[in-house]
Amino acid sequence: MKSSGQARLAELWQRGKDFLGVEHAILGGAMSWVSERNLVSAISNAGGFGVIACGSMTPELLDLEITATSAMTDKPFGVNLITMHPAISDLIDVCLTHKVSHVVLAGGIPAAVDIKRLKEGGAKVICFAPALILAKKLIRSGADAIIVEGSEAGGHIGPVSTSVLAQEILPHVKDVPVFVAGGIGRGETLAAYLEMGASGVQLGTLFVCAEESIAHEKFKKAFMRGNSRDAIISVQLDPRFPVIPVRALKNKASEAFMNAQRDIITRHQSGELDMKEAQLEIEHYWAGALRKAVIDGDVEAGSLMAGQIVGTVKSEQPTQKIIDDLVEQAVDYLSPG
């Protein structure tokens, strides 16, 4: 027999569960180099919803990754595509060929034509909305669900905290499911956002040190040593070069990024690079620095992208336990007395 807390949790995130087709309305955040077949299938097998981070993959690599993930789970999972990817149209083709059930469009405002093509191909489309006005615009463009991600998150972030965005958006968006992300590390917080009207949550940092995560041992150890104050935001040097802020654990790479910006700006001013080339070089810096840390274990010269909730990550655990603990905490929080 279900406890009252279990019944209440089931009721609160039923819409999210139905939308994703899962036991627990917990999306895995798409983290480049980390959210690949092993972690994605583990999250889905544990009752959550794993999401492949396409990042800068070619269509051929994405095709292989979806095939490999499908071989490791028979549960639903999705794919996160970066809207600025030069081969976005081909990547959409790959997702539709594989009949991927849900596609998350990230890294910018998605084109209405991309949303339309995905939906016509049978996929549900999830978009990020950093403001209420944009959430409403994306829903009009056909988004099937919205993710509200605050500045506590790791990696590329916006300027507003999760709690403020949740208050701004949740009371006013009722026609599609809304998932909340950024700074969620315990079930009590998960449950509180559900009570505010969210249909589920998205978690990234909490899964980096999962046993199934392929992140390098040194990368995981940096997470376990880190605390919330160590997860700092990158600094933009020149307003002519709008750099999307990145939250990562401070190390030598944080300082190196400042120097990389200075070098790229100088090359632009000398006429060696045009504006677009300069901005692309800045973005490419992050992709390379992240791989260096996650895959190679270079935790000084590589980027340690992490959310502020990193201070709660103290050990390597199976993905199933991470999810079970979250659910148990949420049930206890929702239980009377």
> What's residue 285's pLDDT?
79
Q: For 247, phi and psi rounded to 5 degrees?
A: -95, 125
Mean of pLDDT values over 209-214: 98
Identify the band that residue 245 occupies on the pLDDT scale cut at 50, 70 and 90: confident
* CA–CA gap between residue 155 and residue 56 (Å, rounded): 15
Q: Is residue 323 part of a domain?
A: no
Q: What single string gives the DSSP state of each residue in 31-73?
A: -TTTSSHHHHHHHHHTTSBEEEE-TT--HHHHHHHHHHHHHH-
Q: Is residue 222 part of a domain?
A: no
- What letter represents residue 298's amino acid? D
* CA–CA gap between residue 42 and residue 40 (Å, rounded): 5
Number of domains in the chain: 2
Question: Is a pLDDT exceeding 90 seen at residue 260?
Answer: no
> What's residue 265's pLDDT?
84
Q: Is residue 335 part of a domain?
A: no
One domain for residues 13 and 129: yes
Q: Is residue 310 part of a domain?
A: no
**Distance between terminal CA atoms of the chain?**
19
Q: Is residue 330 part of a domain?
A: no
Handedness of CA 246, 247, 250, 251 (dihedral sign): negative
Mean of pLDDT values over 133-150: 97
Angle separating helix axes 37-45 and 319-334, nearest 10 degrees:
40
Identify the band that residue 280 occupies on the pLDDT scale cut at 50, 70 and 90: confident
Token pair 């950024």 in the structure block, residue: 182
One domain for residues 101 and 196: yes
> What's residue 80's pLDDT?
98
One domain for residues 237 and 205: no
- pTM, entire model: 0.94
For residue 288, what are the contacts with CB-CB under 8 A and spacing of at least 6?
A: none
Token pair 């973005």 in the structure block, residue: 283
> What's residue 243's pLDDT?
67
The string of pLDDT tens digits covering residues 105-132 is 998 899 999 999 999 999 999 999 999 9
* CA–CA gap between residue 262 and residue 273 (Å, rounded): 13
> What's residue 239's pLDDT?
75
> What's residue 304's pLDDT?
94
> What's residue 259's pLDDT?
85
> What's residue 277's pLDDT?
79
One domain for residues 200 and 64: yes
**151-160, 198-207, 267-276, 287-296, range with the lowest pLDDT:** 267-276
One domain for residues 19 and 69: yes
One domain for residues 162 and 13: yes
Question: Is a pLDDT exceeding 80 seen at residue 158?
Answer: yes
CA dist 288 to 32, 82, 250, 283, 295, Å?
11, 16, 17, 9, 10
One domain for residues 231 and 188: no
One domain for residues 141 and 241: no
For the record, the structure tokens of 241 come out as 């070069």
Identify the band that residue 268 occupies on the pLDDT scale cut at 50, 70 and 90: confident
* CA–CA gap between residue 255 and residue 237 (Å, rounded): 12
One domain for residues 163 and 275: no
Sheet holding 145-149, edge to edge: 26-28, 200-203, 178-181, 145-149, 124-128, 102-106, 77-82, 50-53
Element (H, E) at 225: helix 217-225
The string of pLDDT tens digits covering residues 9-33 is 999 999 999 999 999 999 999 999 9
The residue range of the domain holding 235 is: 227-305
* CA–CA gap between residue 45 and residue 220 (Å, rounded): 22
CATH number reported for the structural domain that contains residue 18 in this entry? 3.20.20.70
One domain for residues 241 and 288: yes
* CA–CA gap between residue 110 and residue 129 (Å, rounded): 11
Identify the band that residue 3 occupies on the pLDDT scale cut at 50, 70 and 90: confident
Question: Hey, what's the torsion of the CAs at 36, 208, 147, 229, to 10 degrees?
Answer: -150
One domain for residues 68 and 198: yes
Q: Is residue 319 part of a domain?
A: no
Mean of pLDDT values over 176-199: 98
Identify the band that residue 242 occupies on the pLDDT scale cut at 50, 70 and 90: low
* CA–CA gap between residue 26 and residue 92 (Å, rounded): 24
Identify the band that residue 238 occupies on the pLDDT scale cut at 50, 70 and 90: confident
* CA–CA gap between residue 214 and residue 223 (Å, rounded): 14
Q: Is residue 130 part of a domain?
A: yes
Average pLDDT, the chain: 94
The string of pLDDT tens digits covering residues 299-311 is 999 999 999 999 9
**7-11, 41-45, 116-120, 289-293, range with the lowest pLDDT:** 289-293
> What's residue 1's pLDDT?
55
